A = this chain, B = another copy of it.
Amino acid sequence: MNIGEVAKKSGLPAKTIRYYEDIGLITPMRDTNGYRSFRESDMHKLAFLGRSRALGFTIEDCRNLLALWNDQDRASADVRAIAKEHLEQIETKISDLQAIRETLSHLVQTCAGDGRPDCPILAKLEKFPT
């Protein structure tokens, strides 16, 4: 399989696939003309990577997950630890964003949004502590 077909099947842009090769996540073969030649196993890895990234795992997490995936003797505890850590970061981010949303939606509601210059949003940004 050439990169175009793999891109279509995996849903990942060709650029991204080349990048993943660059950083050593996959190592497709090469045809005599220099084109990358993807095996089923490469395809499989890319799909794995796509799903991991879609769940917000970092590339380094993905690298580790991939290694565990390929290791028949892995302990599920190792996988779980990565996922749990990631989950906690997501939860932190969610609550940070929720706090921002509260502030922001309040401000947007109280701002007249007309032609006059008075604006509680600017007032907040100007005066109140972070």
Contact = CB atoms under 8 A, between A and B. Distances in A.
B97 A97 contact: yes
Nearest to A115: B75
Q: Please tell me how many copies of the chain the complex holds.
A: 2
A84 B84 CA distance: 33
A122 B75 contact: no
**Majority-rule SS of A interface residues:** helix
Nearest to A85: B108
B11 A117 contact: no
Interface of A: 11, 44, 48, 50-52, 54-56, 65, 68-69, 71-77, 79-81, 83-84, 86-87, 90-91, 93-94, 97-98, 100-101, 103-105, 107-108, 111-119, 121-122, 124-126, 128-130
